[in-house]
Amino acid sequence: MQQAFVELNKVRTKILTWGRWIEESQQGTNEVVILIVGNPGTVGFYETFGKTLYQQSNIPVWCVGHAGHNFPTENSFTKLPKFSDNKELYSLKGQIEHKVDFFRKYVPENAQVHLIGHSVGAYMALEILEHPEVKTKIKDVFLIFPAIEHIAKTKNGKFLNTFIRPIVWFVVFLTWIFTNLPDCLATFLLYIYMFIANIPRQLHVENIKQFLKPGIVKRVLFLGIEEMDFVEERNNDVIRRNVKKVKFCYGQSDNWTEPACWENLKADIPEVNCEVSSFEHAFVFNQSTEVACKLADWLKK
């Protein structure tokens, strides 16, 4: 695995790759898998998924984080544009332009891209699919647990809007307190939470610590609230025009994409390639290997 920060749409952004770095010349295949992550867009959560997908498919995998969801240095966010003065860079629209900028700067013209979008990353994937600087490079698109319609009406969306949205400032303040605790105490509290939530601590304790920085939480919640406000009607026009290259995978018990989502999708676009699985929306915690193997099978087919 290789990792580094590169500037995309004015924001230093963390990239993870397996098989070939984004600035390396092509050798052999011009295929590449590009993963647009969910929210939070802390790319460390996807390490096991990306590694397994590369091992199973033998196609280079590039994982693109969201603008402002990883800090360039351990204890500072001074290299990121200030949140209060640059909210447009961290907005839903800004994150979409951020992904277009990645294609513009790092994806060769002759690339054959297998585009994967997870959760709101699926919404972003659909939004950029027909962009003139993107569409000729896309071979196929896999949207997993796609949060692409009426997010505010889902169970988790209602919870975020009702209980978290009014107290975002307080949530950010709590993370500030957490980051100022002695490291041993903070780690102990985190281990308790991870045990209760059944999250493997050996894989994700550092990722959660990275995510719980106040500046990141502020940007993550800002994007989440934008999702509530702007992700409404499903983009059926784009799906219909690209129906032969787009495949959907929903979860049976997913509080961000409820059963009506895939039922209505199939009713509106009968020819759509849609599968319902038993995997969890937040598969990165406990099911990365299994989901990666499924995606590798899709790539081979």
Question: Which token pair is 222?
Answer: 């800002």
Please confirm, yes or no, whether 281 is among the known catalytic residues.
yes
- Residue of 66, 118, 281, 288 marked active site: 281
For residues 44 and 54, what is the distance between their CA atoms, to the nearest angstrom? 16
Active site (annotated) includes residue 119: yes
Residue-range domain boundaries for the chain: 2-151+233-300
Please tell me which residue in 98, 101, 114, 254 is annotated as part of the active site.
254
Calpha distance 137→31 (Å, rounded): 10
The DSSP annotation for 5-52 comes to: EEEETTEEEEEEEESS-TTSPP-S--EEEEEE--SS--GGGGHHHHHH
Active-site choice (114, 119, 150, 288): 119
Mind listing the pLDDT tens digit for each residue in 21-61? 999 877 767 999 999 999 999 999 999 999 999 999 999 99
**254 noted as active-site residue:** yes
User: Given this model, what pLDDT does residue 7 score?
Assistant: 94
Tokens encoding 171: 């949530």
Question: ω into residue 40 within 30 of 0, thus cis?
Answer: yes
Residue 301, pLDDT above cutoff 90: no
pLDDT of 76 higher than 60: no
**Fold of domain 2-151+233-300:** Rossmann fold (3.40.50)
When pLDDT is averaged across residues 188-217 and rounded to a whole number, the result is 91
Give residue-wise pLDDT tens across range 260-271.
999 999 999 999
Q: How many angstroms separate the CA atoms of 55 and 19, rounded?
A: 9
Please report which confidence band the pLDDT of residue 74 belongs to, taking 50, 70 and 90 as the band edges.
low
Rounded average pLDDT over 215-242: 97
What stretches of 134-282 adopt beta strand conformation (E)?
138-144, 246-251, 273-277
The gap from C-alpha 242 to its chain's centroid, in whole angstroms, comes to 21
